[in-house]
Structure 1
């Protein structure tokens, strides 16, 4: 059996806000759609499933996100996920300039949860809250650079 990762799906409260955040970080929108009908109800397991979606891709073409905003049923607000909660809780990106990436995030009102850490002189990394409370990890390989 061959298996590949297709995408990471994230429900958001404001699709355009989330698209703006991720495209400013460098991802590209590869598609928009609105999905509903029996096939969507069956695939997702929700009767009356109706959502607007956008697919985005990293510049290298290997990482993809599918963002979706529910039209029906209403989206359910939850408390933002904490880094130590069981289950899926973050999306991680390698960046070549973490300071520039943090400047982009700040323009969207998104800031590190605590600060930027140095992991054994290998990575500078941080977690931040993105749109809809999504935890986004940014990491810069610093092995070739001295700071």
Structure 2
């Protein structure tokens, strides 16, 4: 058997229309802004296959420091498609899920910021309370609160 060469997952990326709005949304969930910068130049276009590009990115990090979310706002080239309102059974990116301590409190704060609950908060056996919420930019996020012992 060959040795596994995978070391870790670095981040998940989401393209957004408003970097400021997305940062506020994910900060409200509990992520921290780690840094923000403009990425441009020939080298960047060679990585993405887009040619000349100019994009501002914001790196958000979870409280434990292990997971990151890279938010990108493209200036050049313009975005060409929009998947934000796709239903949960659409092909491609679906959602990011976060574990939270008090799902009711987090959902309440997010709704007060303009997010909306997709369905309802449900309990899965004696393990989790779960929901999907659509927040800033129409981004679909899953929230899970562990309630039982595992």
Does TM-score exceed 0.5, indicating one fold?
yes
Once the two structures are superposed, what CA deviation does each residue of 1:44-90 show, in whole Å capped at 9, x if it has no partner? 11022111110010101111100010111112342422211122210
Q: Which runs of 4+ in 1 moved over 3 A?
A: none
Q: Determine the structure 2 residue equivalent to 1:47.
A: 51
Tell me, in whole angstroms, the C-alpha distance in 2 between the residues paired with 1:126 and 1:87: 20
Q: Determine the structure 2 residue equivalent to 1:122.
A: 127
* Post-superposition offset of 1:2: 3.2
Q: Determine the structure 1 residue equivalent to 2:8.
A: 4
Tell me, in whole angstroms, the C-alpha distance in 2 between the residues paired with 1:94 and 1:104: 16
Name the TM-score, length of structure 1 as normaliser.
Answer: 0.93
Q: What SS class does the counterpart of residue 93 from structure 2 fall into?
A: coil
Tell me, in whole angstroms, the C-alpha distance in 2 between the residues paired with 1:61 and 1:126: 24
* Post-superposition offset of 1:139: 0.4
Name the TM-score, length of structure 2 as normaliser.
Answer: 0.91
Matched, 1:62 2:66: yes
Alignment of 1:24-103 (within 5 A): 24-79=28-83, 80-103=85-108
In structure 2, stretches of 5+ residues that fail to align are: none
Contact 1:91–1:136 (CA<8 Å) still a contact in 2? yes
In structure 1, stretches of 5+ residues that fail to align are: none
Number of aligned pairs?
Answer: 144
Tell me, in whole angstroms, the C-alpha distance in 2 between the residues paired with 1:76 and 1:132: 15
Q: CA RMSD in A?
A: 1.2
